[in-house]
Amino acid sequence: MGQGLSCKVVQDEHGLFTAVQYGHLDIVNNLLLKDPSLIHQTTVYDRHSALHIAAANAQIEIVCLLLKNGSVNPDCLNRHKQTPLMLAAMHGKIACVEKLIEAKANILMFDSLNGRTCLHYAAYYGHSDCLEAILSAARTSHVAASWGFSRFVNIRDGKGATPLHLASRQRRSQCVHMLLDNGALVSASTGGYGFSGSTPLHLAARGGSIDCIRELLAWGADRLHRDASGRIPYLVALKHKNEACAALLNPSSAAPLVWPSPLKFISELNQDAKALLEQALMEANRAREKTILKGAGYSLQSPSHSDTGTVDDNTSEASETELCYICFDQVCTIEVQDCGHQMCAQCTLALCCHNKPDPTTASVTAPVCPFCRSNIARLVVAKVKVNDFDNDLDLYPSCKLPKLRKARNFSEGSSSFKGISGVSSFGKMVGRGSGKVSVDSECIDKS
């Protein structure tokens, strides 16, 4: 993708490019004072400017120097029509990415190699911090107004690949999650990238990343979608000898729980509550994966995040902590507004999420609180009273969400929940069903 910088090998008669590359700020400053025209010099073959070289090598002080007087175009192009922002995103130089965005670098520029933007580069090389900075800029800049944020997230390169396609193929699970969380289309088909008609799930199956496959399935990726050659992701995984991935993608295996629900309020959740629900869903799906892989004779590698959370050794049992009145297993972490009733994340998940529905029969009726039967309009992280103090405390501060114990009551491959099979009867439990919890702050797992 043109990531090499020819400044390392070309003749540098002024010494400017070498000084820029190695961060010799004084030398660069002196050279430019003597001959200001050097600021517009480029390398012989790839036509890299000093700004390209500084951005790709994380020389933030030199980037600031070059941009200071406004004589350098932050969108200057090299031989492949790559901007300094593209190179900074490619090499994961977050400080340079942020500085260039601050200098009004255009995030909608396309290169001439593959027709890719800085967002494609950040996703392809797995630099989630750069990806986040670019997405943040897109929300607040003219891009959101002129193009639309959703259109930018799903922007296609010259071969029809979105950033999500590239991140899935390159096994960049953190970028996959971030893109999905920002509205990337989970089942978009490519043009000429990979095999024509490939979805991100096809490309993740080809790349062999269980983490990417897990994320895509949880966001509703279709295991039965066929590419232009008629292959489903399962067959792609088999062809590339990714047997563990194939076991999860086998249409005959249990279907995963899907996030998010089509219900509008799920996408508008308080971020802390959303994190708790997503974590509960992923843990339920990992339990499903273990069963599938064990049956197929494979062992699941340790995921990047804890597979099953455990309660801290100091956590007291039910004698000191009132548990969820639905499952009687988990501490209440989610509160329904405005009624104030509380449940654990797993039970909330079972009420509000689902297996991928049949579009001909799927209902979009809002879920109801199992205690008072009012419609669930908003979910937040539960607040608790600590002993005799009157101050409300966040059960799980936003900076650190706890690990949750693995839910025991999720049906294999189904969003139906054993404890909710007779959910209408919960209307009688309003008196004691609020699930309010009284715990010592030290009882919460801080790891």
- Rounded CA separation 144/134 (Å): 12
Domain 156-253 has CATH 1.10.730.10: no
Contact assessment for residue 119 and residue 83, using Cβ atoms and an 8 Å cutoff:
no
Alpha-carbon distances of 188 from 159, 206, 209, rounded to whole Å:
13, 16, 19
The residue with tokens 């797995």 is 126
Q: Above pLDDT 70, what percent of the chain? A: 72
The residue with tokens 């009624």 is 339
325-354 pLDDT per residue, tens: 888 888 888 888 878 888 888 888 877 765
**According to the model, what pLDDT value does residue 410 have?**
40
376-434 pLDDT per residue, tens: 777 888 876 444 444 443 433 443 444 444 434 443 333 333 333 333 333 333 333 33
Per-residue pLDDT at 305 exceeds 80: no
What CATH number belongs to 1-122+130-139? Answer: 1.25.40.20
The residue ranges of every structural domain in the chain are 1-122+130-139, 156-253, 272-295+312-356+365-443
In the predicted model, what is the mean pLDDT of residues 16-28?
Answer: 95
Contact assessment for residue 391 and residue 330, using Cβ atoms and an 8 Å cutoff:
no
| The two structure tokens encoding residue 87 | 């190179």
55-66 pLDDT per residue, tens: 999 999 999 999
**According to the model, what pLDDT value does residue 5 have?**
55
**In one letter, which amino acid is 224?**
L
- Among 4-18, 68-82, 375-389, top mean pLDDT goes to 68-82
Please, which contacts does 32-39 make with residues 24 or more away whose CB atoms are closer than 8 Å?
32/65, 36/71, 38/14, 39/66, 39/71, 39/72
Matching fold, domains 1-122+130-139 and 156-253: yes
